């Protein structure tokens, strides 16, 4: 069997490694993959957004199953295009991927179906947004409607900051057309939890919960990033909260999408905030999170290919999805200067891993047999252990052994979670 994974980051590396545990899979292609992924898959130099080239490759190579991992190709309709050629895919069609592709869509969906989220207003006209901000409660949150590489959310602590955010999105178009509409929403407070789920449009099966660490520096200081590390499970997410989320958020979302004629099949990511008024949705993603996947999939005991195929065929209720009782920690090693300005091309030497550890490669190229850094987030050093404390210390031991002169990592991944566990 031949499998194709669209994408080329640490998340895709984690997906590929997990898929390969199924011995029926003979070959995995990564489009485009990266220099580290090439140890586990055949990398093909086709960009993740080049849908005609992706489809052509899949047809010519007679791919049996495709996984489209990143948001861009999903929103652009990669799954629609592949399925038109008869290729079974894991991932939502464009009309369902819009749940991430347009914040205006997702906010209106939640309002219509009474799914708990922050109060909000939508603006298409900049003057109206600015005059709303004259009296809006502060702090407030300004969000560009469309995809913006994870940077389209600005938490404004003052009225001026909020107005600047609106002007930069609507007038200066720093996110292009993604900012021609903005959502201005209520500022919520509470611990954040990421819950990825498998859903075939009828059944929703949450995966083990996780906690991202979005800021670049220790103690949640510095700029927002794509994520500097993760742990799973997330200790804030108790069994009671999980039950409440299933009732008030997960099932209603799946049903709402179906009722709208936008059945969602694939991985639906719920970004939640546990507020004092109950869990609320901060964001939906139409895909696996990065670096959440790097801690969630190593804890999956079921065969990933079987679960993905059942999801795509609408047969998820017939399949068991089982997670281990262990914990996992992923420490991201990034290039110095990330997320602003950084250099690439530094040689890296990776330590040996064992059956309870992995180094997922997010940004690297191979040159004369040497692994060179290429990108902001470079490695995801991951360890699994019987408890979180051991997983964190093992991930850090391994991260310290990485030889990479231009690399840095946060020293406190998992500390917040460990504190909660001690209480």
Q: Which does 187 bind (CB under 5 to 8 A by kind): ligand AMP, ligand GLY, none?
A: ligand AMP
Q: Give least dist CB 111 to ligand GLY, A.
A: 22
User: 290 vs 303, which CB is nearer to ligand GLY?
Assistant: 290
User: 50 vs 212, which CB is nearer to ligand GLY?
Assistant: 212
Number of residues that bind ligand AMP (CB under 6 A): 14
CA distance 2 to 16: 12
Q: Which residue has the tokens 């050093």?
A: 381
CA distance 209 to 17: 20
> What does the buried/exposed string (b/e) look like for 236-250 if buried means 16 or more CB atoms within 10 Å of the residue's CB?
bbeeebbeebeebbb
Give the three-state DSSP class for 372. strand
Phi-psi region of 95 (alpha: psi -120 to 50; beta: other; left: phi over 0): alpha
Site string for ligand AMP, 147-176 (x = CB under 6 A): ---x--x-x---------------------
Burial grade of 78 (CB within 10 A; 0-12, 13-18, 19 or more): buried
**Residues 98, 71 contacting (CB under 8 angstroms):** no
User: 102 vs 285, which CB is nearer to ligand GLY?
Assistant: 285
Q: What is the DSSP letter of 69?
A: -
Q: Which does 380 bind (CB under 5 to 8 A by kind): ligand AMP, ligand GLY, none?
A: none
* Tokens (6 digits) for 82: 């592949």
Q: Which does 35 bind (CB under 5 to 8 A by kind): ligand GLY, ligand AMP, none?
A: none
> What does the buried/exposed string (b/e) look like for 122-148 if buried means 16 or more CB atoms within 10 Å of the residue's CB?
bbeebeebbeebeebeebbbbbbbbbb
Find the binder of ligand GLY among 290, 321, 327, 376 (CB under 6 A). Answer: 290
Q: Which does 227 bind (CB under 5 to 8 A by kind): ligand AMP, ligand GLY, none?
A: ligand GLY
Residue 289 contacts ligand GLY per CB under 6 A:
yes
User: 185 vs 292, which CB is nearer to ligand GLY?
Assistant: 292
Q: Could you tell me which stretch among 42-50, 201-209, 257-265, 289-297 binds ligand GLY (CB under 6 A)?
A: 289-297
Q: Could you tell me which stretch among 42-50, 174-182, 283-291, 351-359 binds ligand GLY (CB under 6 A)?
A: 283-291
CA distance 291 to 69: 13
**Residues 119, 187 contacting (CB under 8 angstroms):** no
Q: Which does 289 bind (CB under 5 to 8 A by kind): ligand AMP, ligand GLY, none?
A: ligand GLY
For binding to ligand AMP (CB under 6 A), which residues are involved?
118, 141, 150, 153, 155, 185-188, 192, 214, 271, 282-283
Instruction: Point out which residues bind ligand GLY (CB under 6 A).
Output: 150, 212, 226-227, 285, 289-290, 292
């Amino acid at each position: 069997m031949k499998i194709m994974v669209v994408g080329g980051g640490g998340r895709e590396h984690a997906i590929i490694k997990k898929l390969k545990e199924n011995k029926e899979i003979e070959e995995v292609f990564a489009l485009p993959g990266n220099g580290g992924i090439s140890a586990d898959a055949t990398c093909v130099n086709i960009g993740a957004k080049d849908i005609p080239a992706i489809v052509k490759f899949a047809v010519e190579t007679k791919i049996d199953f495709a996984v489209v991992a990143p948001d861009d190709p999903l929103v652009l309709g990669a799954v629609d295009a592949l399925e038109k050629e008869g290729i079974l895919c894991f991932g939502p069609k464009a009309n369902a991927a819009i749940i991430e592709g347009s914040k205006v869509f997702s906010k209106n969906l939640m309002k219509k179906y009474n799914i708990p989220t922050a109060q909000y207003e939508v603006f298409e006209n900049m003057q109206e947004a600015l005059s709303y901000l004259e009296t809006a409660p502060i702090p407030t949150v300004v969000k560009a409607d469309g995809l913006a590489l994870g940077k389209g959310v600005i938490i404004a602590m003052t009225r001026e900051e909020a107005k600047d955010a609106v002007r930069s999105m609507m007038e200066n178009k720093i996110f292009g057309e993604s900012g021609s509409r903005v959502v201005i929403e209520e500022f919520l407070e509470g611990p954040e939890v990421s819950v990825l789920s498998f859903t075939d449009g009828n059944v929703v099966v949450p995966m083990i919960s996780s906690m991202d660490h979005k800021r670049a520096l220790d103690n949640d200081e510095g700029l927002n990033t794509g994520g500097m590390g993760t742990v799973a499970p997330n200790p804030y997410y108790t069994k009671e909260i999980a039950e409440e989320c299933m009732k008030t958020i997960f099932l209603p979302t799946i049903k709402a999408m179906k009722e709208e004629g936008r059945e969602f099949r694939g991985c639906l990511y719920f970004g939640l905030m546990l507020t004092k008024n109950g869990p609320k949705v901060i964001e939906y993603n139409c895909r696996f999170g990065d670096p959440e996947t790097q801690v969630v999939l190593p804890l999956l005991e079921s065969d990933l290919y079987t679960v993905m195929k059942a999801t795509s065929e609408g047969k998820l209720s017939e399949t068991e999805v089982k997670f281990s009782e262990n914990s996992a920690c992923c420490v991201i090693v990034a290039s110095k200067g990330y997320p602003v300005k950084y250099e690439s091309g530094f040689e890296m030497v990776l330590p040996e891993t064992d059956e309870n550890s992995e180094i997922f490669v997010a940004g690297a190229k191979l040159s004369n047999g040497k692994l060179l850094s290429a990108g902001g987030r470079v490695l995801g050093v991951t360890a699994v252990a019987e408890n979180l404390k051991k997983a964190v210390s093992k991930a850090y031991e391994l991260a310290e052994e990485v030889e990479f002169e231009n690399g840095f990592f946060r020293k406190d991944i998992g500390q917040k979670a460990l504190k909660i566990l001690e209480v």
